[in-house]
Structure formats: C-alpha cells, structure tokens
C-alpha cells in the first residue's frame, strides 16, 4: 500500500530532513505543491485533504491555520505537527512513544504533536523517575541543554556557515533564552508530571548537530536518598525493549571518550542514549541524541510509522 504524505513547510530545516528520510521509500508518495501555488490557501487545502499524513513544519500560527483547512468530516488525514503550537493541547497526542501508553495513543490519533528537541531529552530522563516516586513532583529541577546550531533553523545555520571565519562571540558555546521562558518549558513540565518547570539553560555550540541534555540530582533532597544505582535501574526498567532509547552502562563505561562525553555520537540516527553518573552525594543524568533526529525529523517519522501501522523503525537508523 502507498501512503500519500504532504510536508507543509518542506523547505525548512525539519521539513527538508523529513523529505530526505522519506526518499526512496516505496510505500510513500510525497505530494508537492508547485512553487507558484505554495501560498494559495485553496491549493494547500486540496493537498492537505488528499494526504494520509500531513507534516506541519511551520511557525505556530501557520500550523494552526493549516489544521483549520481540514475539511469537515475528514477523519482520514492525520497531522504530525513539529511546531510548539499543540504540544500541551489535550486534543493532541504527544509524540514520544517511549512514554507509558503513548505508542497506542499515537497509533489511534488523528493529531500528533512532535516533541521539542530539548524537551525530548529532559522528559525521557525525568518522567520515569517522577512516575516511580524517586524524584518528587515538586523537586527543584534544573536542566542544561547543549545543541548544535542547526536547531536554530535556516537563519542560524546561515549565521554559522555563510560568513567565512566566525566572529569571536560565536566561537564559543552561547547560553540563550535568558528570560527563562523557553518555548519548550510547558511540555517539559506537563509531560514529566513536575509541579514546576525546571530552571532551564539552553546552550548553542559552534557545531552543526548533536545534543546533550543534562539534569543534576541531589540524593539528600530525594526520598530515601537513592544513589545513582537506583536511578539507573529505574531508567533501565522504563526503557527495557525500546529500540530508540538506550540506557548506557552506569558511570559511562561505554560512550565516554577519554573522560569526555561528545555531543555528536548519535548524529544521523534516531537513537537517544541515557547516561547516569555520580555518587552518594550527587547524580548527573545526561541524554545524548541528534537534535535533527530523535529531536525532530526522526521522531516525526517514527510517529508516522506508528500511525500508519508500518514497522516503527522503517527509514530510521538506530
């Protein structure tokens, strides 16, 4: 069977990567609006209603406008929205299948919100620990996330790649979202069950893609003062049997290189690696994945496969 797919926002970073990952799939026909008709809402509506799957790779307002073009009574076309517009909307299913029960919800939903990249790393680590009672919901969570510049989209990619030698202020990693109101915070709070959003410091580095999302924990503030072994066991149990999430050996005996944890080792895959470091006084959780893979287009393809009843890993490298 061949499924019709329309990528609304095909020329953006996520749209291009989705298109690339679909190339060569005999079971997918990508519908393409002629360039001179791309801004015609009537034409867009026609393509949306012809498709089995519509990927929304657009700003939030434009995503909402595209959803509104679905014809009344159309229960066949399914949306996968890569924007932040619907991630905490109760009428949409959050597209992180590794969470309990979420795979079945994705399978049966017409509206799926693809997770944010920073949020993916945070939720994968924190949600199981809150669910298990290891981390209280009101624990004062903090998170630092280092990402490659491709996460900033075409404009940031151009800043890094089209001006020759980088200016001094772009040669080092740079913290941003200093107003502490990053757009991923609502889903980071809602999908973990946390009572409060974390203090979140995203950092962009002078490399194209790859991601490290770290969350520190203090055992003395946790019930029973659990050590890293308890945390590692809980994460291992939560993701047992998952193909796209791998809990690495405790303490980093695998995946750490000469005492360093590079951000790029999962690039061009849909794999997320979870690390637990620490001792009786301090614990550090780190998620490593490709911000353009499990953090964006790869996650979107994984959700599409589930929604269409295909093998979940079709077209994805692990």
Neighbours of 88 (CB within 10 A): 14
CA 170 – CA 174 distance, rounded (Å): 7
- 283 by Cβ neighbours in 10 Å (0-12 / 13-18 / 19+) ranks as buried
* Alpha helices, DSSP H, located in 68-116: 102-108
Active site residue 117: yes
DSSP bridge partners of 257: 260
CA 80 – CA 15 distance, rounded (Å): 12
CB within 8 Å of 293: residues ≥ 6 apart = 266, 267, 268, 269, 270, 271, 299
Q: Tokens standing for 86?
A: 């619907």
Candidates 55, 45, 191; CA nearest to 118 is 191
CB within 8 Å of 40: residues ≥ 6 apart = none
Q: Tokens standing for 108?
A: 């049966």
- 75 by Cβ neighbours in 10 Å (0-12 / 13-18 / 19+) ranks as exposed
Indicate which residue of 117, 143, 266, 303 is catalytic.
117
Candidates 257, 254, 292, 251; CA nearest to 271 is 292
The residues that are catalytic are 117
């Amino acid at each position: 069977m061949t499924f019709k797919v329309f990528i609304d926002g095909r020329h953006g970073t996520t749209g291009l990567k989705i298109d690339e990952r679909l190339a060569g799939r005999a079971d997918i026909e990508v519908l393409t609006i002629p360039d001179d008709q791309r801004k015609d809402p009537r034409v867009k509506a026609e393509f949306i209603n012809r498709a089995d799957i519509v990927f929304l790779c657009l700003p939030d307002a434009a995503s909402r406008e595209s959803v509104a073009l679905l014809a009344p009574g159309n229960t066949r076309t399914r949306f996968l929205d890569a924007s932040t517009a619907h991630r905490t909307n109760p009428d949409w299913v959050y597209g992180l299948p590794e969470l309990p029960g979420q795979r079945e919800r994705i399978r049966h939903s017409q509206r799926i919100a693809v997770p944010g990249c920073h949020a993916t790393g945070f939720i994968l680590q924190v949600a199981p620990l809150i669910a298990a009672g290891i981390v209280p919901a009101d624990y004062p969570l903090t998170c630092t996330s280092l990402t490659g510049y491709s996460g900033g989209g075409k404009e940031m990619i151009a800043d890094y790649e089209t001006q020759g030698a980088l200016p001094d202020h772009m040669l080092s990693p740079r913290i941003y979202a200093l107003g502490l109101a990053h757009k991923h915070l609502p889903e980071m709070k809602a999908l973990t069950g946390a009572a409060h959003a974390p203090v979140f410091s995203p950092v962009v580095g002078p490399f194209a893609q790859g991601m490290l999302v770290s969350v520190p924990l203090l055992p003395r503030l946790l019930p029973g003062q659990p050590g890293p072994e308890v945390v590692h066991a809980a994460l291992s149990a939560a993701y047992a049997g998952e193909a796209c999430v791998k809990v690495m050996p405790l303490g980093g005996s695998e995946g750490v290189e000469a005492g360093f944890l590079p951000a790029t080792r999962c690039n061009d895959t849909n794999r997320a690696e979870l690390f637990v470091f620490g001792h009786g006084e301090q614990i550090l959780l780190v998620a490593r994945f490709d911000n353009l893979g499990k953090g964006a287009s790869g996650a979107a393809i994984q959700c599409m496969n589930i929604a269409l009843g295909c093998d979940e890993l079709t077209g994805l490298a692990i």
